[in-house]
Amino acid sequence: MSILGTRVVRTEDPGFLTTGAVYTDDVVDERLAGTCHVFFVRSPIAHARIRAVDVSAALESPGVIAAFTGAALADLPPLAPPMPDLVDGRMAQPLLARDVVRYVGEPVAVVITEDTYQGEDAAELVSADYDPLPAVVDLAAAADDPPSLLFPEAGTNVTATFGDASALQADLFDGCEVVVSRTIVNQRVAPAPMETRAAAAVWGDDGRLTAWIPNQGAQGTRGALAAMLAIDPSSLRIITPDVGGAFGAKFGADPEHAVVCWVARQLGRPARWAETRNENMIAMTHGRAQRQTITIGGSRDGTVTAYRLEILQDSGAYPRFGAFLPALTILMAPGPYAISRAEAVARSVVTNTTPVGAYRGAGRPEATAAVERAIDMFAAEIGRDPAEVRRVNLLPKFTQPHRTAFGAVYDSGDYVTALDAALDAAGYAALRAEQARRRAAGDVTQLGIGLASYVEITGAGAESGAPRENATVEVFPDGSATILTGTSPHGQGHATVWAMLASEELGIPVDRITVKWGDTDLIPEGGGTGGSRSLQQGGVAVRQASLELLEVARERAAAALEANPADLVFEPERSAFEVAGDPDAAVPLAKLAVEERLVVRTVFIAPGATFPFGAHVAVVEVDTETGKVVLRRVVTVDDAGTVINPLLAEGQRHGGIAQGAAQAFLEEVLYDADGNPLTATFADYPFLSATEVPSFELADMATPTSYNPLGVKGIGEAGTIGATPAVQNAVIDALAHLGVRHIDLPATPQRVWRALQDVSAGKDA
Amino acid sequence: MQIELTVNGAPRSDEVEPRLLLVHYLRQRCGLRAANVGCDTTSCGACTVLVNGRSVKSCTMLAVQAAGQEITTAEGLATGGEMHPVQQAFRQEHGLQCGFCTPGMVMAAAGLLAENPHPTEAEVREGLEGNFCRCTGYHNIVRAVLSAAEEMSA
Amino acid sequence: MIPAPFEYEAAESAGHALELLARHGEDAKLLAGGHSLLPMMKLRLAFPSVVIDIGRVGELAGIRADGDDLLIGATTCHADVAASDLVRSQAPLLAYAAAQVGDPQIRHRGTIGGSVAHADPAADLPMALVALGGSLEISGPGGPRTVSADDFFAGFFETSLEPDELLTAVRVPRRPGPDWGYQKFVRRANDWAIVGVAVAGGRIALANMGPVPVRAVAAEQALAGGASVADAAALAAEGTDPAEDIHADRAYRQHLARILTRRALEHQTG
């Protein structure tokens, strides 16, 4: 009986539910005895020269051990932007601001105290003098007409360019009967994992640093920290406690993590830091933040023949991974459609706001949101059903890899089936009929039906080399097993699923298999968890290691049974090798670990990234008097290949859908014109609660990939990618009969009301 | 000042400063770290515990206010090594992923079911409006609470 | 985020609380449920040097009938007001309003007195009290006094309470029956109202349409003069000067006030 494909409840849960998981702030370790506590002082102003930072009063505050400003860290390198060939490397963030502050929340000083409560008291006594500089907040102005330059030596606020704007073809839309164009917003959002950032650090007598940090890949965190501390990675051990969510914002390391480690070395004692939520809202990297000009053209029969996407990416004050994301947006620009002429370009610019990083989907939701809006705008312009326009333009089913004009190689896809399955599950015809009834009756509450077809890229390679992951599997004489993985789960359930994969091959029960990750001394290499890579690389590596272990074991079994290895059969039900046809001549797998360790390490190298796909149907009700949007239903097909644990796969879809929907009608990070954050607490930021979403309706579809033996792709981000445009399109659809053509993300009540006001006033909406 | 209270059925006596928040008292002084601090504005509910059987956000209560009260945390919900039906249901229904919101969510759910043993789905969602989750989209959390309600009234 | 250091005093009676207030003056703040004060202290927007805890003063809690009124002790928590059979039958608007405050955990601790004394113009209870024509019972060194809800809210987060006075009870006229309505417009569940409306017996109170809960006087007068609900509601925003914020600009707030007043006058809750 295969365990794969069954709903196995998680092995992690009993501890999580009773004593709670052990997050970084929970860690109790004798190495951290005598710890001091680090509290950051942050800039209250978006752009200014620092005249002076005075810590003298803070030093007198009760419990203060020390206080440091940027000058103290002058010999440490700044946090360099990623991808230095693509992104301007001069735009680097010093660990503590030195001459200039560039965003509200930028760390300016640290105070170190004996206990946690004293830090905030002392921080209030640090006084800093700032000479304000003009704040760059408006994205378009930042690029072309900036009030100031964040990095004068760079001569521009543009930090990266993708594609060649001068090569855009003026005649791209020639011959199109219909051309529609609009500039739209994919707004800045806050990843807001429930666990904020934290660190605990101690330097040993051997000069090695041990740091506990919540992250998405200990190996990457080690590398990033080592660079900021100007030490060799081998001098640093990262231990990853349980992580309370990440969503892309806990990759690598931030300046604060490095400062905590530096403090521990400077003071010769362990140091700990736990970020407050209000700090997190302004100092953890934000997500999305693109301005997009979409142009789409085709004929009245519904065929789309041309599409252009021009992107302005807000990088925030210092380019982080967000500056690079437009490259992924461009890669996925045409989505699942067969559009004969398509082009895309992008610029990333710095502004005096929180730096932008990866956030669930990282560049691909932006692509899908843009093309899905364009398809709907085109459909509205030609007066055709958006489902029909999609059907006509989706790439027909393909089982051999398909290369797009943008260089993406989609491994397998069946987009029309996914769309039809979602429409069917939603009862599309009945929904349109209900919508028609309400329109005819002039109901105050109108019904909107929104669609999104999507394809997304998962498991893309690391910066160097083909996508790969390692796994080590060891079986012990007592019949238990341990797996070491280079992935880094933070809610995805690898402890359970990797155990399932090994259990399937080795016949060892899941609850006797321990999965370990996140300790760089134990597992020096690994790609972490993000970009929906883990199952298709890490999970496949676990299976591969298990099979390789069986081959090693087979030789030992043959010797033990004095038989020919080829005559042995491995029986997972018994977790034993048997002589074929003679079950009594058997040796348990565990016994083969007695004389010599039974352990195998393997690396699975994937042929390339895989491309999950799907279709979402969202149903909303819009109160045409108040503008309030209520999300009634989200029906999805999310095809990420073979499903190993449906319980967990569904959970990933639910969570993704909720975040995607939240971006469509609720969440938004806002700044005023001076760069002051307006949504810097959980009270002000409209974080989605249980009352804003319904239960979701998931339809099943699983088209295996040929890229790995399990046939799996990545499910983690798909839900987010499909849900945002589906919900946005639904809101606009609800009001289309009144003349509304577009409402920017998020469709807040005021935005909806304004759109209705504008159409009544005869303005273009 | 000295306070005396009961935590998970055990009496305690501790010297605390007035501004010590109940959540920090539980985590640092009692070593009960299941309740987490997730925000600064009494919004997220990750710190939820029961005070005299009623759900309370322990970040917005001073330890000194808890003097003479009975506090129950997630650690105290399980009895004799057996998970409480709410905890069991969360596991069965996959109502947790990263787990950070979970102890607070479980305590809020336990408090909800104590006041309303047979909630509708809508009542569950409203009853949990003070508890944020970023991972699950709430779908399985709602299923878990409804399942626990059924189990507890059987 | 944690409060600045302070001294803590536990009051044993209302009289004792008054003594402590007199002794510590403007440096002291009263603490009941702490769900208005503690959030402010954690953000260091309030930093009293003395906190006087009245949360355990039995005489300040409780709900009882008092002639034509209901008398609700100041430290009665929202959950108890919302669940009280007496309030639900005799002042259903108040029970409903109490059930809208925050979320279940907040309602288990936050008190009617604390909320009213905090005087957030976007909050549920100040608006509800104005709609009900309630009054506030206050104790001070000069003896007890009663202030109508209309007169109690003096400005943005400001009441007519003196620093040495204690709000002891909320008094509302008994008004059983379905002739009331309540609308609280939010983007997300446990938010404060972007705009709120409470109506009862010809009185219309608005939340978040100014620095204090305001009466929609023009609308009330139109109603009293026999205007239809729709015509009266169209005047709901007259004379209001609502603030602008990330949720709503002035025009949108005034629009919401009109729509929500109409719905509340139609006895709708939502």
Each residue's pLDDT tens digit, A40-51: 999 999 999 999
Q: Which of A324-328, A415-419, A580-584, C93-97 has the lowest mean pLDDT?
A: A580-584
**Min Cα separation A627/chain C (Å):** 10
Asked if the Cβ–Cβ distance from A688 to C1 is below 8 Å, we say: no
Q: Does residue B144 carry a pLDDT above 80?
A: yes
- Residue A82, pLDDT score: 86
> Distance (Å, rounded) from C-alpha A251 to C-alpha A357?
9
Chains interfacing with C (3 or more CB pairs < 8 Å): A, B
- Residue A462, pLDDT score: 55
Residues A561-604 pLDDT 10s: 999 999 999 999 999 999 999 889 999 999 999 999 999 999 99
* CB-closest option in A277, A679, A753 to C255: A753
Query: Which of A209, A180, A208 is CA-nearest to residue A271?
Result: A209
Which 76-105 residues of chain B touch chain A by CB within 8 A? Answer: 77-78, 83, 87, 90-92, 94, 96-103
Which 53-72 residues of chain B touch chain A by CB within 8 A? Answer: none
Asked if the Cβ–Cβ distance from A626 to C249 is below 8 Å, we say: no
Residue range B138-150: mean pLDDT, rounded: 98
Please report, to the nearest 10 degrees, the dihedral formed by the alpha carbons of residues A725, A285, A751, A157 taken in order: -100
Q: For C181-265, CATH number? A: 3.30.390.50
What are the tokens at A563? 């038989």
The pLDDT-based confidence of A86 (bands split at 50, 70, 90) is confident
Query: Which of A662, A21, A652 is CA-nearest to residue B140?
Result: A652
Could you tell me if A696 and A657 are in contact, meaning their C-beta atoms sit under 8 angstroms apart?
A: yes
Asked if the Cβ–Cβ distance from A748 to C247 is below 8 Å, we say: yes
Provide the 8-state DSSP code for B79: B
* Three-state secondary structure call for residue C39: helix
| HSE (side-chain half, CA atoms, 13 Å) at C202 | 7
What are the tokens at C179? 């002739």
Asked if the Cβ–Cβ distance from C2 to B127 is below 8 Å, we say: no
Strand A513-516 versus strand A481-485 pairing type: parallel
Could you tell me if A608 and A457 are in contact, meaning their C-beta atoms sit under 8 angstroms apart?
A: no
What is the percent of chain C where pLDDT is above 70?
Answer: 100
Please name the residue that has the structure tokens 């691909």: A364
Domains present along chain A, CATH in parentheses: 362-458+610-760 (3.30.365.10), 468-605 (3.30.365.10)
> Distance (Å, rounded) from C-alpha A371 to C-alpha A386?
13
Please name the residue that has the structure tokens 């057996």: B82
CA-atom Rg of chain A in angstroms: 27
**A628 has a chain C CB within 8 A of its CB:** yes
Asked if the Cβ–Cβ distance from A670 to C5 is below 8 Å, we say: no
* CB-closest option in B39, B42, B98 to A245: B98
- Find the helix or strand (DSSP H, E) in which B4 lies: strand B2-7
**Min Cα separation A724/chain B (Å):** 14
**Min Cα separation A178/chain C (Å):** 35
What are the tokens at A330? 């461009």
Please name the residue that has the structure tokens 């149907």: A617
Chains interfacing with B (3 or more CB pairs < 8 Å): A, C
- Residue A464, pLDDT score: 57
Q: Supply the mean pLDDT for chain A.
A: 97
* CB-closest option in C35, C42, C190 to B40: C42
- Residue A88, pLDDT score: 85
Angle at A560 (CA atoms; ends A559, A564), nearest 5 degrees: 45
* CB environment A570-593: b (16+ within 10 A), e (fewer): bebeebbbbbeeeeebbbbbbbbb
> Distance (Å, rounded) from C-alpha A386 to C-alpha A391?
9
Chain C residues lying within 8 Å of B130, measured CB to CB: 102-106, 190
Task: Find the closest chain B residue to A646 by CA distance.
Answer: B94
Strand A613-623 versus strand A629-639 pairing type: antiparallel
Question: Can the peptide bond before residue A152 be classed as cis, meaning omega within 30 degrees of 0?
Answer: no
Asked if the Cβ–Cβ distance from C8 to B48 is below 8 Å, we say: no
**Min Cα separation C5/chain B (Å):** 6
What are the tokens at A713? 């792709």
Residues B48-99 pLDDT 10s: 999 999 999 999 999 999 999 999 999 999 887 799 999 999 999 999 999 9
**B76 has a chain C CB within 8 A of its CB:** no
Could you tell me if A729 and A376 are in contact, meaning their C-beta atoms sit under 8 angstroms apart?
A: yes
**C226 has a chain A CB within 8 A of its CB:** no
Query: Which of B27, C43, C2 is CA-nearest to residue A117?
Result: C2
Could you tell me if C136 and C130 are in contact, meaning their C-beta atoms sit under 8 angstroms apart?
A: no
Residues A477-491 pLDDT 10s: 999 999 999 999 999
* Strand partners for A123: none
Q: Determine the residue among A668, A750, A752, A756 to mutate to test chain C binding: the one whose Cβ has the most chain C Cβ atoms within 10 Å.
A: A750
- Residue C227, pLDDT score: 96
**Min Cα separation B93/chain C (Å):** 24
- Residue C190, pLDDT score: 85
Could you tell me if C111 and C78 are in contact, meaning their C-beta atoms sit under 8 angstroms apart?
A: yes
**C250 has a chain A CB within 8 A of its CB:** no
* CB-closest option in B40, B61, B115 to C34: B61
Asked if the Cβ–Cβ distance from A754 to C189 is below 8 Å, we say: no
- Find the helix or strand (DSSP H, E) in which C204 lies: strand C203-207
Q: Does residue A122 carry a pLDDT above 60?
A: yes
* Sheet containing A468-475: order of strands: A513-516, A481-485, A468-475, A598-605
Provide the 8-state DSSP code for A95: S
Residue range A375-383: mean pLDDT, rounded: 98
Task: Find the closest chain B residue to C54 by CA distance.
Answer: B65
Provide the 8-state DSSP code for A243: -
Residue range A252-258: mean pLDDT, rounded: 98
Domains present along chain B, CATH in parentheses: 2-74 (3.10.20.30), 85-153 (1.10.150.120)
Strand C166-173 versus strand C135-139 pairing type: antiparallel
User: Cα dihedral sign for A69, A71, A77, A81?
Assistant: positive
Complex prediction ipTM: 0.98
Q: For C58-173, CATH number? A: 3.30.465.10
Strand A304-316 versus strand A287-298 pairing type: antiparallel
* CB-closest option in A26, A244, A656 to B98: A244
* Sheet containing B54-57: order of strands: B10-15, B2-7, B70-72, B48-51, B54-57
**Min Cα separation C53/chain A (Å):** 22
Query: Which of A756, A720, A757 is CA-nearest to residue A358?
Result: A720
A-C contacts (CB, under 8 Å):
53
**C45 has a chain A CB within 8 A of its CB:** no
Q: Determine the residue among C252, C254, C255, C262 to mutate to test chain A binding: the one whose Cβ has the most chain A Cβ atoms within 10 Å.
A: C252
**A215 has a chain B CB within 8 A of its CB:** no
* CB-closest option in B44, B78, B135 to A655: B135
A-B contacts (CB, under 8 Å):
187
* Strand partners for A615: A453, A637
Distinct helix (H) and strand (E) counts, chain C? 12, 14
Q: Is the pTM of this model over 0.95?
A: yes
Q: Domain map of chain C by residue range?
A: 7-53, 58-173, 181-265
Could you tell me if A490 and A246 are in contact, meaning their C-beta atoms sit under 8 angstroms apart?
A: yes
The pLDDT-based confidence of A762 (bands split at 50, 70, 90) is confident
Q: Determine the residue among A39, A115, A626, A630 to mutate to test chain C binding: the one whose Cβ has the most chain C Cβ atoms within 10 Å.
A: A626
Residues A301-343 pLDDT 10s: 999 999 999 999 999 999 999 999 999 999 999 999 999 999 9
CA distances from A495 to A297, A474, A709 (A): 48, 15, 20
- Residue B100, pLDDT score: 98
Q: For C7-53, CATH number? A: 3.30.43.10
DSSP string, A292-355: EEEEEEE-TTS-EEEEEEEEEEEEESS--HHHHTHHHHHHTTTTTB--SEEEEEEEEEE-SS--
> Distance (Å, rounded) from C-alpha A412 to C-alpha A398?
6
Contacts of A10 (CB under 8 A, 6+ apart): A493, A495, A496, A648, B91, B94
What is the percent of chain A where pLDDT is above 90?
Answer: 96
> Distance (Å, rounded) from C-alpha A755 to C-alpha A748?
11
What is the percent of chain B where pLDDT is above 90?
Answer: 96
